[in-house]
Structure 1
């Protein structure tokens, strides 16, 4: 079955529009309005569109002075900050290609990404990122410059000819700008729809990361669909909207919510002081548009659980009553597709006075008009919680290879447990033989950089992108993803099992952080389980269970029983062949630097099974 949206156009004058031209045009038309805010030493500093574009121009001139040519790659290795946007937009302005690196990438991955992308210049945030780059620079012959933003620990202690301070970069740009004032604008004027604007590396769950090439035309279609139309919010995003940028900007979803919505719709972007201050920043900013990966929503729910359990008796009793009502509201919204009834409106209005307003204020979502979850599967129970307390929550679906444009749950047409309906002008079909989701539209990527074989596997001759996700139609309108094709478990008895459904059911508990279901070609299904340290630690302390380390806590009989009870509750929802017969506790928190998680916090399933193979084999041996 195919869901077409009709033909889409990106040709004509609009095709050569880029992020750079959008920022420039906004600076020309609303130069004194605030484009972004950055928190520095506890104070939010405002940056206008005029100042934004002026800095972009200066950085663009510096890139020209350093010999950056059309098609060259410029890498950025930093936490979210204004400099990330300056460097990104300036790179596109001079018709080069931006390559984003995750702040948590270890040196080996940094070396691979810089070498494979053949990056000519790297913008690094601080000493930590500079150290990583210098450790691998000999493996990266194309890399000629490392520009560092934060000079502490670098300026007077490092002596390497490739290093250049951000302030010195700006000075170089100012000098070039004075000598050749129209050089950047001239380069921008020659931009074509086929220019590669972004090279975005996949998270690498099954091997080395692959660099997805997104062209100017790809991004134009994505911006038109997701931002300028009703793709991500209704009404569409506008200059009165507020956003908080906190997920890595090298991820396509955060680029959409931070860079694209900012440039195309004027959404005011806020950069907090660090990833550790996100919850405090949410409370201060109270954004109207908010995106999170499932781990973020799960963590917020866990913090709510802890906060209410530690509250006084009166507050706990009040919360218990109104959270029960929120569950009823959520159930009703699920049945109605997200449409309130008279009863839910009345109950919510009273609950707003007693709990919901204060709770939403505390978690930073009092003004959210569109919240979304994507990038990985999420338990429906988590979505229902936020819907019940009044947060307009929608699950969306896209991937790097199609600039995040596939499906969305729309207001008043929600089907919980699905990733929604195809966007306008987007074709989606399910392969009849394999059940794989295929999609086709103008934002489907050009291909993988330096990897024609992988490109041919991902995009066929007719332009269909093979997503690798297995799914099914729900009601003929919405898509339900059952799992990644490579993750489907076939037991020794021939039963096909989708592990993500079981894993999400487990992770819906505030006590479970990670769950990896195993059972391919095995007689029964087992699981490796990681606890949520904060919530389980709080639970243990309130019961007088003493512990010292994460591992010590996981070995406590009381904690094992807690997890066993959760497993038992989840098992009753599944058929006998899908039920977890045994589990083992992960002895440590999974980490990106240890190769257990991707930079987007996705579990590297094969790596986990290999690293903790003794635990897996124990469950299939004589262990309990």
Structure 2
């Protein structure tokens, strides 16, 4: 059960650590092996990061700019910034280099988490001089001006460090350029995220037994709304693939019960399935088409399911999926019908980003609550 009293994301983490401290909360595949961390370990890591960031000068209202693909370090650094009353400002790591550079220059960020060498160099190219620049990739960088995430997180956590996050303040801010090159941002508050997470947990009956795969980039509001916040409230296990390139293999190995996808990600799985299907007109393809449309008769459906549909779900890594979620644009009718026939029809959840044009993207703007007028 989740606690109704938690009014912000770090408070939810603290509640899970007290309630389910020894349970595995997060796994990340590295060098082919799944590395596990418990709720207690996550709490200590976030507190260590928060202590190190505070020593570097991070205060209430500051933003931590994150330029990274999906990985635990990006998530836990976000929670550390929020613990200190700040905002995690997310840039799309797959956006064109010039867009990233423009946004980095506009933000003039004082605190930056960069994934590795390439991202660190991009921060430098933006002529940015952060007070704290640290990197997530554990392979290390020969650069005296950059700290490693591991070193920062290894600091002795200050258990007396109070949670400074406030429910109405933004937990995450997202940044992009529109078609005309105008900088835009959107913010999601702690209260908004937790409220939507409660709704998802209740409607989809999520429990601590779920296995979820965090394969989408963090720089998307749907991931914060329907994966990260529910994870903190329901206390299920969150899994990170080794890389975006290995996510399909990692999904097949994991067999997640909760899958969060978009028009693009489900479309990619649909295309992958089509490549694996027998050629049209062949005997096997006729059997499969028959199985995909079979719903009458227990014997007929059972035959189609165990002979054809179940193996196809295994190939896609959806063998155990019971909560397939879709955010954003709807799927084409043929793709939706295909997944429905497999028994994993994606259920649509709203993602209505409130992008706002900004004359400047200085971190202090992200600290203003939703609905409040920002300073000129």
TM category (shorter chain) comes to: 0.7 to 0.9
| Superposition deviation, residue 285 in structure 1 | 0.8
Name the counterpart of 1:146: 133
State whether residues 35 and 48 of structure 1, in contact with CA within 8 Å, keep that contact through their aligned partners in structure 2: yes
Would you say 1:268 and 2:242 are equivalent positions? no
Q: Gaps spanning 5+ residues in structure 1: where?
A: 1-12, 330-342, 402-444, 453-460, 462-624
Return closer, same or farther for 1:361/1:262 CA change in 2, 3 Å cut-off. Answer: same
Task: Mark the CA change 1:273 to 1:325 in structure 2 (over 3 Å): closer, same or farther.
Answer: same
Q: Of 198, 218, 222, which residue of structure 1 is paired with 2:192?
A: 218
Of 279, 284, 294, which residue of structure 2 is paired with 1:318?
284
Is 1:379 the counterpart of 2:332 in the alignment?
yes
8 Å CA contact 1:107, 1:133 repeated in 2: no
Residue 168 (structure 1) aligns with:
151
Are 1:193 and 2:167 an aligned pair? Answer: yes
The change in CA–CA distance for 1:113 and 1:225 in structure 2 (over 3 A counts) is: farther
User: Match for residue 244 of structure 1?
Assistant: 213
2:264 maps to 1:295: yes
**Is the contact made by 2:65 and 2:111 (CA closer than 8 Å) also made in structure 1?**
yes
Q: What secondary structure is seen at the aligned counterpart in 1 of 2:110?
A: strand
- Alpha carbons 1:327, 1:385 under 8 Å: kept: no
> Which residue of 2 is the match for residue 608 of structure 1?
none
Q: Which residue of 2 aligns with 1:350?
A: 303
Say if 1:38 and 1:272, in contact at 8 Å, map to a contact too.
Answer: yes
Distance 2:301 2:103 in 1: 50
Q: CA RMSD in A?
A: 2.7
**CA shift in 2, pair 1:355/1:215, >3 Å:** same
Displacement, 1:96? 0.5
Matched, 1:67 2:57: yes
Say if 2:317 is the partner of 1:364.
yes
* Residue 201 of structure 1: how far off its partner (Å): 2.2
Deviation at 1:451, TM superposition (A): 7.2
SS of equivalent to 1:400 = coil
Give the Cα separation in 1 of the matches to 2:298 and 2:334: 21
Structure 1 residues 594-613: aligned runs within 5 Å: none
- The alpha-carbon deviation at position 181 of structure 1 amounts to 4.2
Of residues 137, 141, 160, the one that matches 1:182 is 160
Q: CA deviation at 1:450?
A: 5.5
Distance 1:112 1:243 in 2: 34
SS in 2 for 1:198: strand
Spell out, residue by residue over 1:364-421, the C-alpha distance to the aligned partner (whole angstroms, 9 max, x if none): 11111121222224211110001012213223332233xxxxxxxxxxxxxxxxxxxx
SS of residue matched to 2:80:
helix
Q: Relative to structure 1, is the Cα distance of residues 153 and 64 closer, same or farther in structure 2, using a 3 angstrom cutoff?
A: closer
Instruction: Tell me how far apart the structure 2 counterparts of residues 361 and 153 of structure 1 sit (CA, whole Å).
Output: 37
* Equivalence for 1:548: none
CA contact (8 A) 2:67 2:119 kept: yes
- Is 2:343 the counterpart of 1:390? yes
Which secondary structure state, in structure 1, belongs to the residue aligned with residue 324 of structure 2?
strand
- CA-CA distance at 1:346 after TM superposition: 5.2
The offset of 1:290, in angstroms, is 0.7
Contact 1:37 1:270 in 2 (8 A): yes
Distance 1:373 1:217, change over 3 A: closer
Count, aligned residues:
361
Structure 2: tracts of 5 or more residues without a match: 362-370, 372-376
How far residue 328 of structure 1 moved from its aligned partner, in angstroms, is 5.6
Whole-angstrom CA distance in 2 between matches of 1:280 and 1:62: 36
- Structure number with the bigger relative contact order (C-alpha 8 A, sep ≥ 6) is 2
Residue 101, structure 1, aligned to residue 67, structure 2: no
TM-score normalised by the chain length of structure 1: 0.54
- The alpha carbon displacement at 1:58 in A equals 0.5
Aligned to 1:37: 27
- Structure 1 pair 363–31 and aligned structure 2 pair: CA distance change class (3 A): same
- Give the CA deviation at 1:344: 6.4
Residue 284 of structure 1 corresponds to 253
Separation of aligned partners in 2, 1:237 and 1:206: 41
Distance in 2 between the 1:79 and 1:85 partners?
A: 10
Determine the C-alpha separation between the residues in 2 that align with 1:256 and 1:199.
12
Contact residue 212 and residue 448 of structure 1 kept, 8 A: no
Name the residue aligned to 2:368: none
Which residue, 108, 117, 121 being the options, matches 1:131? 121
Task: Give me the whole-angstrom Cα distance separating, in 1, the residues matched to 2:140 and 2:360.
Answer: 38
SS of residue in 1 equivalent to 2:277: helix
Distance 1:345 1:131, change over 3 A: farther
The 10-residue stretch of structure 1 (290-299 or 72-81) with the greater mean CA deviation from structure 2: 290-299
Aligned CA distance change for structure 1 residues 309 and 325 (closer, same or farther; 3 Å): closer
Residue by residue over 1:308-367, the C-alpha shift from the partner in whole angstroms, topping out at 9 and shown as x without a partner, is 2379x9xx52343232341465xxxxxxxxxxxxx2665432211221111111111111
Instruction: Give the Cα separation in 2 of the matches to 1:147 and 1:345.
Output: 58
**CA spacing shift, 1:390–1:145, aligned 2, 3 Å:** same
Gap change, CA 1:193 and 1:112, over 3 Å in 2: same
Tell me if the contact between 1:74 and 1:96 (Cα under 8 Å) persists in the aligned partners: yes
SS in 1 for 2:152: helix
**Residues of 1 paired with 2:22 and 2:81: CA distance?**
24
1:64-120: CA deviation from partner (whole Å, max 9, x where unpaired)? 111101110101111111111210111111111001122223332223223333422
CA contact (8 A) 2:288 2:304 kept: yes
Deviates further, 366-375 or 285-294: 366-375
Q: Which has more radius of gyration?
A: 1
Asked if 1:58 corresponds to 2:48, the answer is yes
Which position in structure 2 is the counterpart of 1:480? none
